[in-house]
């Protein structure tokens, strides 16, 4: 078959924070006409970097379009001359929050004057044509939900009528029914002869949608597979997925987590009828009640941007509760200072490491942040604290050249280990209440496994854990109970034994517990 796009020997290296990352190391990639080609890989495998090479020149390598070598040195050439279009993953670098949807989608208008009304009509028509649901073209982007923004981004790419369409993690914020609609749209576009690249780390998506799959690992291509052949070679889909998974993650194959049977204990955190506002002053958490018990992991599942962040920040006193109460171990701590909350044993692992670490301070200083206040006198009791931090570095196997190196010099995984080490050691046993927000986000398989095991160990020791995650696999394999949040409301709380992936998926899309339990 003819390849419409060929990338040869692509190299791209990033330098930053004392580390050198070879994001693409001699990568070869080809896209045939009229195929859907999935690029599969873990976070940080170099998938986005590879397609970005089409818009910004890579360090070295050759790119051929329709067999002719081209020099794509800026986005304009790629978009206008070669009819490429991309829906990016990082919407903050792609959508202008303060502009309306119509002002964001200008690509097809020409000339000096323009009629926004005409663009708005065109957008409405395109939304219908591509079956992307209803979005008001006059709405400001910052008012849209995560899923709506993602659909705008996809529409922005589609509306230019590209011959090569690139979708970078298009499903991250979509609900299952929306994903289904998107996939049937992609199949239609393929019938029309368009070539599509879809980047994903979901194995099922790759296997069900694509014609071929290129698997990337640590910036290198580890396999190019024909999906048809892959299906034939394996007895069922599950085995095929296992094969893909081992390709994707390498030798470190995911193994099942060992979860001891523990009886959940007493209620330690009571959150009643909480209402929390976002930065804009609009309520995004509408009367949520949650109870957290010792020896329990409560999962909070949901597509990101449904009020999880505000709920957790309300619980941990980063922001005020507009209404409702929080009781920890019987004490009312509603809108009390954050110090008080922490003294009651509430540890917090935020998704954004910048909220947990001071990058320019040393590993030791960062590990001390919990305990320095325990010093009796005005001066920090370093002789007592230093052995403790040394023990943590050994215990959690934090790879650093010295305890005095700044956090900035550590890799992402080791940074997260510092957070985990500090927060897990805040209190022991039943005294620990842990709020973990996507604790394995962006980590490699080894560290992910380590963090998950630690969570289960803390649970066995008696800690009460609230695990917020948008990763269903993580939720399903760790939690005792699963609460699903949608648009700031809890759709239901199901125990793990009764839950299936499909049920949780539907509830994440707004179905109530009563509708999915049969």
Partner 1 sequence: MVDYILMFSSIVAAATFFLLPTLGEIYAERSGILNLGIEGMIIASAAFSYAIAYSTQNLWIGVLSGMLLGGVLSGIHAIISITFTRTQVVSGIGLTILGTGLSGILGRGVIGKAIDTLENVHIPFLSDIPFIGEIFFDHPILVYFSYIMVPICWFILYKTRIGILIRSVGENPEAAYNQGVNVNLLRFACVIFGGMMSGLGGAYLSLGYLNFWSEGMTQGRGWIVIALVVVALWNPLGAFLGSYIFGTFDVMKYYFQQFLPTPVLKMAPHVSTILFLAIWGIILSRQKVKSIVGAPTSLAVPFEKS
Of residues 108 and 372, the one with the C-beta less far from partner 1:
108
DSSP calls for 351-417: SSGGGT--TTSBHHHHHHTTTGGG-SSSS--HHHHHHHHHHHHHHTT---S-TTSBGGGS-HHHHHH
For 412, other C-beta atoms within 10 Å of its C-beta total: 18
Q: Is 79 in the site for partner 1 (CB under 8 A)?
A: yes
Q: Is 95 in the site for partner 1 (CB under 8 A)?
A: yes
Of residues 4 and 159, the one with the C-beta less far from partner 1:
159
**Crossing angle for the helix pair 146-158 and 116-129, nearest 10 degrees?**
100
Of residues 88 and 212, the one with the C-beta less far from partner 1:
88
Distance between CA atoms of 487 and 501, rounded to whole angstroms?
Answer: 20
Q: Is 109 in the site for partner 1 (CB under 8 A)?
A: yes
Exactly one of 66, 107, 266, 373 binds partner 1 (CB under 8 A); that residue is 107
Of residues 277 and 375, the one with the C-beta less far from partner 1:
277
Q: Is 80 in the site for partner 1 (CB under 8 A)?
A: yes
Q: Is 202 in the site for partner 1 (CB under 8 A)?
A: no
Q: Which of 398, 368, 369, 395 is nearest to 384 (CA)?
A: 368
| DSSP designation for 89 | S
The token duo for 119 is 């663009």
DSSP calls for 399-459: --S-TTSBGGGS-HHHHHHHHHHHHHTSS-GGG-EEEEESTTTT--HHHHHHHHHHHHHHH
Distance between CA atoms of 295 and 433, rounded to whole angstroms?
Answer: 10
Of residues 97 and 381, the one with the C-beta less far from partner 1:
97
Q: Is 146 in the site for partner 1 (CB under 8 A)?
A: no
DSSP calls for 133-168: ----TTSBGGGS-HHHHHHHHHHHHHTT--SEEEEE
Which range, of 85-93, 224-232, 343-351, 440-448, touches partner 1 by CB under 8 A?
A: 85-93
Which range, of 39-47, 80-88, 176-184, 384-392, touches partner 1 by CB under 8 A?
A: 80-88
Q: Is 97 in the site for partner 1 (CB under 8 A)?
A: yes
Which range, of 107-115, 364-372, 415-423, 445-453, touches partner 1 by CB under 8 A?
A: 107-115
Of residues 119 and 274, the one with the C-beta less far from partner 1:
119
Of residues 12 and 202, the one with the C-beta less far from partner 1:
12
Q: Is 328 exposed, middle or buried (0-12, 13-18, 19+ CB in 10 A)?
A: buried
Distance between CA atoms of 356 and 424, rounded to whole angstroms?
Answer: 13
Angle at 223 (CA atoms; ends 218, 227), nearest 5 degrees:
130
Of residues 120 and 343, the one with the C-beta less far from partner 1:
120
First to last CA, the chain: 48
Which range, of 86-94, 189-197, 342-350, 411-419, touches partner 1 by CB under 8 A?
A: 86-94
**Dihedral sign, CA of 258, 264, 268, 269?**
positive
Distance between CA atoms of 479 and 477, rounded to whole angstroms?
Answer: 6
Contact 310, 278 (CB under 8 A): yes
Q: Smallest gap, in angstroms, from Cβ of residue 10 to partner 1?
A: 16
Q: Smallest gap, in angstroms, from Cβ of residue 35 to partner 1?
A: 25
Q: Is 106 in the site for partner 1 (CB under 8 A)?
A: yes
Q: In what order do the strands lie in the sheet with 19-32?
A: 19-32, 3-16, 60-65, 68-70
Q: Is 289 in the site for partner 1 (CB under 8 A)?
A: no
Q: Is 281 in the site for partner 1 (CB under 8 A)?
A: yes
Residue window 238-267: x/- pattern of binding to partner 1, with contact defined by CB under 8 A: ------------------------------
Of residues 94 and 375, the one with the C-beta less far from partner 1:
94
The token duo for 131 is 């079956």
Which range, of 74-82, 310-318, 328-336, 383-391, touches partner 1 by CB under 8 A?
A: 74-82
DSSP calls for 208-255: HH-SEEEEEETTEEEEEEEHHHHHHHSSSHHHHHHHHHHHHHTTS---
Exactly one of 16, 68, 71, 93 binds partner 1 (CB under 8 A); that residue is 93
Q: Smallest gap, in angstroms, from Cβ of residue 139 to partner 1?
A: 13
Distance between CA atoms of 350 and 353, rounded to whole angstroms?
Answer: 6
The helix or strand, by DSSP H or E, that contains position 473, with its residue range, turns out to be helix 472-478
Q: Smallest gap, in angstroms, from Cβ of residue 150 to partner 1?
A: 15
Which range, of 93-101, 200-208, 214-222, 444-452, touches partner 1 by CB under 8 A?
A: 93-101
Pairing of strands 331-332, 321-328: antiparallel
- Give the count of residues interacting with partner 1 (CB under 8 A): 35
Of residues 56 and 372, the one with the C-beta less far from partner 1:
56
Of residues 57 and 176, the one with the C-beta less far from partner 1:
57
Q: Smallest gap, in angstroms, from Cβ of residue 23 to partner 1?
A: 12
Exactly one of 94, 304, 334, 409 binds partner 1 (CB under 8 A); that residue is 94
Q: Is 140 in the site for partner 1 (CB under 8 A)?
A: yes
Exactly one of 6, 17, 75, 344 binds partner 1 (CB under 8 A); that residue is 75
Which range, of 126-134, 172-180, 278-286, 288-296, touches partner 1 by CB under 8 A?
A: 278-286
Q: Smallest gap, in angstroms, from Cβ of residue 85 to partner 1?
A: 10
Q: Is 280 in the site for partner 1 (CB under 8 A)?
A: yes
Instruction: Enumerate binding residues for partner 1 (CB under 8 A).
Output: 55-56, 74-76, 78-80, 86, 88, 92-99, 103, 106-107, 109-114, 116, 140, 142, 156, 279-282
């Amino acid at each position: 078959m003819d390849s419409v796009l060929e990338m040869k020997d692509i190299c791209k290296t990033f330098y930053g924070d004392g580390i050198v990352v070879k994001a693409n190391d001699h990568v070869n990639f080809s896209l045939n006409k009229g195929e859907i080609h999935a690029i599969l890989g873990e976070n940080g495998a170099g998938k986005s970097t590879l397609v970005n090479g089409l818009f910004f020149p890579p360090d070295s390598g050759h790119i051929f379009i329709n067999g002719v070598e081209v020099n794509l040195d800026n986005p304009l050439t790629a978009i206008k001359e070669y009819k490429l279009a991309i829906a990016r993953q990082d919407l903050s670098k792609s959508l202008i929050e303060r502009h309306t949807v119509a002002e964001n989608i200008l690509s097809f208008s020409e000339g000096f004057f323009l009629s926004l009304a005409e663009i708005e009509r065109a957008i409405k028509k395109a939304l219908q044509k591509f079956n992307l649901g209803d979005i008001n073209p006059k709405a400001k982007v910052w008012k849209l939900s995560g899923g709506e923004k993602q659909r705008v981004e996809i529409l922005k790419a589609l509306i230019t009528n590209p011959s090569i369409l690139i979708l970078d993690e298009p499903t991250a914020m979509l609900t299952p029914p929306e994903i289904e609609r998107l996939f049937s749209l992609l199949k239609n576009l393929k019938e029309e002869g368009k070539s599509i690249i879809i980047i994903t780390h979901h194995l099922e998506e790759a296997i069900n949608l694509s014609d071929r799959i290129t698997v990337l690992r640590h910036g290198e291509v580890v396999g190019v597979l024909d999906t048809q052949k892959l299906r034939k070679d394996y007895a069922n889909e599950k085995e095929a997925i296992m094969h893909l998974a081992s390709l994707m993650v390498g030798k470190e194959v995911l193994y099942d987590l060992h979860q001891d049977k523990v009886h959940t204990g007493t209620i330690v955190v009571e959150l009643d009828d909480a209402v929390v506002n976002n930065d804009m002053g609009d309520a995004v958490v509408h009367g949520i009640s949650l109870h957290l018990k010792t020896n329990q992991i409560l999962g909070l599942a949901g597509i990101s941007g449904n009020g999880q962040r505000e709920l957790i920040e309300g619980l941990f006193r980063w922001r005020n509760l507009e209404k409702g109460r929080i009781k920890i171990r019987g004490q009312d701590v509603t809108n009390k200072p954050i110090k008080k909350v922490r003294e009651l044993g509430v540890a917090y692992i935020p998704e954004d490491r910048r909220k947990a670490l001071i990058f320019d301070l040393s590993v030791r200083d960062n590990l001390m942040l919990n305990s320095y206040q325990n010093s009796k006198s005005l001066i920090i009791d370093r002789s007592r604290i230093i052995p403790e931090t040394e023990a943590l570095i050994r215990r959690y196997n934090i790879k650093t050249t010295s305890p005095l190196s700044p956090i900035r010099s550590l890799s992402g995984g080791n940074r997260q280990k510092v957070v985990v080490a500090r927060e897990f050691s805040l209190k022991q046993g039943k005294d620990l209440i842990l709020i973990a927000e996507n604790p394995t986000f962006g980590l490699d398989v080894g560290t992910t496994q380590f963090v998950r095991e630690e969570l289960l160990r803390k649970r066995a020791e008696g800690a009460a854990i609230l695990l917020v995650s948008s990763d269903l696999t993580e939720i399903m394999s760790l939690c005792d109970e699963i609460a699903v949040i949608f648009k700031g409301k809890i759709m239901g709380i199901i125990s793990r034994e009764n839950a299936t992936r499909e049920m949780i998926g539907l509830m994440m899309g707004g179905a109530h517990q009563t509708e999915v339990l049969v």
